[in-house]
Structure formats: structure tokens, C-alpha cells
Amino acid sequence: MQPELEITLPFFILITAWLAIVAKNLLTAAVALTVFSFLMALAFVSMGAVDVGFTEAVVGAGVTGVFIIVVIFKTARRTQDRSDMRFKYLKGLAIAAFGALLIYGSTALPIRGDADPPMNRPISLIGSVNAASYYIQNAYKDAETPNMVTVILADYRGYDTLGEVIVILAAGLICFLLLRKQGRQREIQR
Amino acid sequence: MQSFFIYISVILTIIILIPLYRVYIGPSIYDRVLGAGSIGTKTLVLICLIGFAFDRFDMFLDITIAYAVLNFIGVLAMAKYLNSMRGKNE
């Protein structure tokens, strides 16, 4: 990613995430989440992970935004906003500790663009054999496809991808059945 | 030329603040959906500029077209649903 974009884009991502949290109107929060997903997809694309960015745009910006709006309109609000003020400092302490733990863990990650990170070496840090180095060395020989990610997803893990397709088809069918117009049934019930 | 595209992309990223303000303030839901749509449009141009920065504009142009379709479908789906709910709530 370019260093200039690397500074400005996360700033906007943080702004939209904050908007989605603090917005009192639920529809505002839903639209802010859509914008968040679009900017997140842009960040993925600018890092070169085009497929991940595309998935984020389809699922986050397209489907989830529409579904959240549909759910807001289909359901009724029966409770009031009332925050539980007990253990306020304890909750804040737990969240801060978890954030500190995540930041501490992220310091051990390899630098982005590193050609020789520990997980791509033939032998991992604890002495076992790494799968990633096998994929890097043999992906082209096994499948004759230039893109390594495609080989792993569609060839080595082909059955896994088939299962994912079935899950996505089931989810799409369920959404279609839930959201279709139920005009005739309503007429009969009346 | 590279740095020119990068500065343009940074300026476009800062311009996103204007529709973001509309998303936050916007009195009606229609303003918010329109603001989200215009942010999506800016995202398209930004992906094109990133393609120039990576020097693979042909691949990124295809992605941009798919993004444009997605953005259009998303706004259209929200607008269609809001239109169908309008008669029942008001």
C-alpha cells in the first residue's frame, strides 16, 4: 500500500466504525456499516488482496447492509436503550486488557511483504513440517495453474470449496424464502 | 506520474468526508443511502487510481466494473425495500 493512503484510509475506517457504534438511529448505523465495508474493501484492494476485497464488498457492503435494513423494518422495537452501569470500570478494564493483548500479539507478526516469514519456511519454529512451503514449491507442478491461491482453493481443498458452495446456496435459498412477498398467505389469514 | 495519482487518491479519500457528513446528519434514510452510494462511487475511482499505482490497470478496471454493479445493486435493493415499506409504516 502507498504510505499516503496507508495514513488516510484507516482514519476514515475508524471514523465510520465509530459512527456505526454511536449512532442513535439504527438505520444510520446500518448505512455507516455499509460505508465501513466499502472502505475496508478498498484497503484490501490497495494492499493487493483483490479477491478478499471483492468478498468484503459483496458480503459486507451489498448483502449485509440490505439484510440489516430489512430486519430493522420487519421487527418492532419493544425495549428502551438503558445501559447497565454496574461493573462499569471492570468492563472497561476487561476491554482494555483484551486490546492490549491483541496489540502485543500483533507485534510478533511478520512485516507485510516479507518474502521469508516463519510460516513459509520448510520447517516451522517448533520443528514440524510446514504446509505452505509445499504449496509454494509444488503448486505449479501439481496443477499447472499460475495462480497459487486458485490451486489451493480449487484443487488441494476442492471438497472444502464444494461444501462452501452448498452452504452459500442454502443460505441464499433461505433468504429468498424468508424475504419473498407473502401476500396470498396474509389474505387467507384475514 | 505515479506520485500524481497517489496524491489524487489521497485528496479523493479526504473528499469522502463530505458524503460521510450526509450519512451521519442526513435527516431521512434516503439521504443516508444516497451518501453511501456516492462514497461507493468514490471508491470506484480510488480503485482505478490504485490500479495505476500497481501498474496493472487492465485487471483493476475489471474489478472496478464489478464494484460499480455491486454498488448499484446495493443501493437499488435498499431503495426497493424502503419503497415497499413506505405504505405500511406511514
Among A1-5, A163-167, B22-26, B64-68, the range with the most confident prediction by mean pLDDT is A163-167
> Within an 8 Å CB–CB cutoff, is residue A57 touching chain B?
yes
Chain B residues whose beta carbon lies within 8 Å of the beta carbon of residue A16: 20
Q: At A186, is the pLDDT very low, low, confident or very high (cuts 50, 70, 90)? A: low
Contact B2, B22 (CB under 8 A): no
Interface test with A, best of B12, B29, B69 (most A CBs within 10 A): B29
* pLDDT score for A97: 96
A123: β partners = A129
**Interchain CB distance below 8 Å, A42 and B47:** yes
pLDDT at B13 over 90: no
Distance CA A150, CA A137 (A): 15
pLDDT at A17 over 80: yes
Share the mean pLDDT of chain A: 82
Q: What are phi and psi of B46, to 5 degrees?
A: -65, -40
Residue A177: half-sphere exposure toward Cβ, Cα within 13 Å: 6
Helix axis angle, B29-54 relative to A26-46, nearest 10°?
0
Percent share of chain B, pLDDT over 90: 0
Q: At A1, is the pLDDT very low, low, confident or very high (cuts 50, 70, 90)? A: low
> Within an 8 Å CB–CB cutoff, is residue A66 touching chain B?
yes
> Within an 8 Å CB–CB cutoff, is residue B75 touching chain A?
no
Residue A93, all three cell numbers:
478494564
Distance CA A67, CA A61 (A): 10
Distance from CA of A51 to the nearest CA of B (A): 9
Residue pairs spanning A and B at CB distance below 8 A = 100
pLDDT at B90 over 50: no
pLDDT at B27 over 80: yes
- The number of distinct structural domains making up chain B is 1
Radius of gyration from C-alpha coordinates of chain B? 16
Q: What is the tens place of the pLDDT at every residue in A20-61?
A: 888 877 888 888 888 898 889 888 888 878 888 888 888 887
> Within an 8 Å CB–CB cutoff, is residue A64 touching chain B?
no
**Interchain CB distance below 8 Å, A19 and B66:** no
* pLDDT score for A96: 95
Residue, of A119 and A91, whose pLDDT is higher: A91
Instruction: Quote ipTM for the complex.
Output: 0.83
Residue with the three cell numbers 514440524? A128
Task: Give the domain range for residue B70.
Answer: 2-89
* pLDDT score for A47: 82
Residue B9, all three cell numbers:
487518491
Average pLDDT on B69-88 reads 76
